[in-house]
Amino acid sequence: DAGVIQSPRHEVTEMGQEVTLRCKPISGHDYLFWYRQTMMRGLELLIYFNNNVPIDDSGMPEDRFSAKMPNASFSTLKIQPSEPRDSAVYFCASTSRQGATSNYGYTFGSGTRLTVV
Amino acid sequence: AQSVSQHNHHVILSEAASLELGCNYSYGGTVNLFWYVQYPGQHLQLLLKYFSGDPLVKGIKGFEAEFIKSKFSFNLRKPSVQWSDTAEYFCAVASGGSYIPTFGRGTSLIVHP
């Protein structure tokens, strides 16, 4: 298995532009998480899905942020319009209920480093 | 809501030194505890976890952690660190049967050769 795949790896965009981050979870995993990592705030959970349904989006900072999971193999995190304070590394992670209690825990993607100038 | 505190933000050690990274959480019920490691430029990987049983948990690469319920702590230890242990270490706590962890701010460990 190729693991959790995120794209792009790096994104540089101008303030006000729309940004779309993509994630392909591990096949068979029914939980998908979006995290944001910054120096100031550490690792924050933005939203998570179970069986493609958003369960908790209380971590989404503003209405500018939205996430979708149209099917079991794909999720997007969109920021519109983007602002410089959105600059961070965004991680996607997936697991299964069984996996969460196994030795594998959560599998994280390599992240997308977003820079908004 | 639970919270996780990692008191050491930056730790600098020489090779062969012993390591202990502190992690405390605030939640009175049953917890599931994790330590993750993030090597430079890489994603988070699971080091070890505790769900039940022996409170002393052995993980990969010689790491271990001890769950002390009375102290709400889950400190990470390694008797002799190596240069390759240079990384960011995250403690995470999930309450009850949720399995959805809250992460601490992380501790940056630098090991000098």
For every residue of chain A, which 3-state class applies, written as one string? CCCCEEECCEEEECCCCCEEEEEECCCCCCEEEEEEEECCCEEEEEEEEECCEEEECCCCCCCCEEEEEEECCEEEEEECCCCHHHCEEEEEEEECHHHHCCCCCCEECCCEEEEEC
A99 close contact with B: CB closer than 8 A: no
Q: Which of B64, B52, B36, B65 is nearest to B97 (CA)?
A: B52
Residues of chain A with Cβ-Cβ distance to B65 below 8 Å are none
In this prediction, residue A104 has a pLDDT band, given cuts at 50, 70 and 90, of low
Task: Give the tens place of pLDDT for each residue, B52-79.
Answer: 899 999 998 999 999 999 999 999 999 9
B10 pLDDT above the threshold of 90: yes
Cα atoms in the 13 Å half-sphere on the side-chain side of A112:
27
| Mean pLDDT within A26-44 | 90
Closest CA to B88 of B3, B13, B10, B2: B10
Question: For the segment B15-42, what is each residue's pLDDT rounded down to a tens digit?
Answer: 999 999 999 999 878 888 999 999 998 8
- Give chain A positions within 8 Å (CB) of B100: 33, 45, 48, 56
Grouping H, G, I as helix, E, B as strand and the rest as coil, residue B73 is: strand
**Residue A116: which pLDDT band, with cuts at 50, 70 and 90?**
very high
**Token match 């995470």: residue?**
B92
Confidence of residue B11 (pLDDT cuts 50, 70, 90): very high
Structure confidence at residue A14 as a pLDDT band (50, 70, 90): very high
Residue A47 pLDDT exceeds 70: yes
For residues A42 and B102, what is the distance between their CA atoms, to the nearest angstrom? 11
Residues 6+ apart with CB under 8 A from A100: A31, A106, B99
Angstrom distance (rounded) from CA A114 to CA B93: 27
Q: Which residue has the higher pLDDT, B87 or A101?
A: B87
**Residue B52's pLDDT is what?**
86
Mean pLDDT (whole number) for A87-103: 82
Predicted pLDDT of residue A89: 94
Pairs of residues, one from chain A and one from chain B, whose beta carbons lie less than 8 Å apart? 46
- pLDDT given at position A5: 96
How many helical (H) and strand (E) elements, i.e. helices and strands, does chain B have? 0, 12
